[in-house]
Amino acid sequence: MYPQERMRRLRATPRMRRMLREDALRPEQLVQPLFVDENIAERREVVTLPGQYALPLGKVGEECSRIERLGVGAVLLFGITCRKDPLGSEAWNHEGVVQSAVREAKTACDIPIITDLCLCEYTDHGHCGQLRHDQVDNDATLELYGRIAVSQARAGADMVAPSGMMDGQVAAIRSALDREGFQGTGIMAYSAKFASCFYGPFRDMVGSAPSNGDRRSHQMDPANARQAMREMRLDAEEGADMLMVKPALPYLDIICRARDELELPICAYQVSGEYAMIRSAAANGMIDGRQAMMESLSCIQRAGADIIITYFATEAARELRCVNGA
């Protein structure tokens, strides 16, 4: 007798398949990154990220409202400036590009606003912190991160997302925020952030590639899973509200392990290079772009991500509304 157990019974019809789907993405789990450029007057397509636009101040409120209406969970803001110096002091300017963008978004709508917190977009050397003898000075940088966090919180950010991978950054930011009365501002910690080539398109666009050297003395070695768990545990102890794994698709094992072993919400960042790969393969007729988008997001969720930061957020949210008949 050929097998009694036949897996295909449960896959026979679309309705059967729909009923048995184990996990379904919701638009509210997606976070859309947005670039705000203080040097432009009109929105401009990002060459390295087709379909993504840098926005001028003045267009941020409108764009956030549009994203909110699609049901996307939150927006992650990045600033682009040409006012750079060795310390990156523009990053904590109350009138700076991100601070102004947050105020604009908060006036226009209610979608949660998360701000990337790093110095590489603001230092003239492109490193993530203050340099001393050509090395990033960890402890001096922590004080600067505290200032950035307070200025972003004061502008109205719901959460700050420190991405510099300095030791002790979550604790330093938590105490700076609390000291200034921002106990309610959350921290989404880029905890397991790997030294990845998949950030290439992002660095080209925000002009944050380091002018010399690389980030391997603070970002993690892609081969290290146990160390990623230590990073995440430390950030949890230091007071992070959410833990992030970045990039996403090549690091599904880390996401899975984090979800199994830790209790905080786990967030995965599908980064610029992952987006660019799907987009360019689709543009060359090699894969179906829409299906690749949905499949990749669904797999990141299946691995254990509660929240996914992705350049596809807006598009995927639109897709999910069609599928769910909303």
List contacts with ligand PBG (CB under 6 A).
Answer: 116, 118, 120-121, 163, 199, 202-203, 208, 271-272
- Phi and psi for 270 in degrees, rounded to 5? -80, 105
Instruction: Mark whether 59 is an active-site residue.
Output: no
Find the shortest distance in angstroms from Cβ 208 to ligand PBG. 6
Instruction: Name the region of 134 (left: φ>0; alpha: ψ -120 to 50; beta: rest).
Output: left
Find the shortest distance in angstroms from Cβ 266 to ligand PBG. 17
Half-sphere exposure of 284 (CA within 13 A, CB side): 7
Find the shortest distance in angstroms from Cβ 272 to ligand PBG. 3
Q: Residues 59, 84, 106, 246: which is the catalytic one?
A: 246
| Residue among 56, 124, 37, 41 nearest 87 (CA) | 124
Q: Residues 59, 84, 106, 193: which is the catalytic one?
A: 193
Q: Which residues pair with 245 in a beta bridge?
A: 192, 268
Q: Which is nearer to ligand PBG, 90 or 109 (CB)?
A: 90
Q: Which is nearer to ligand PBG, 109 or 196 (CB)?
A: 196
- Three-state DSSP class for residue 17: helix
Find the shortest distance in angstroms from Cβ 202 to ligand PBG. 3
Under a CB-based contact definition with an 8 Å cutoff, are residues 110 and 169 in contact? Answer: no
Under a CB-based contact definition with an 8 Å cutoff, are residues 228 and 235 in contact? Answer: no
Cα 205 from Cα 281, distance rounded (Å)? 20
Find the shortest distance in angstroms from Cβ 265 to ligand PBG. 19
DSSP string covering 154-191: HHT-SEEEE-S--TTHHHHHHHHHHHTT-TT-EEEEEE
Instruction: Mark whether 84 is an active-site residue.
Output: no
Positions marked catalytic:
193, 246
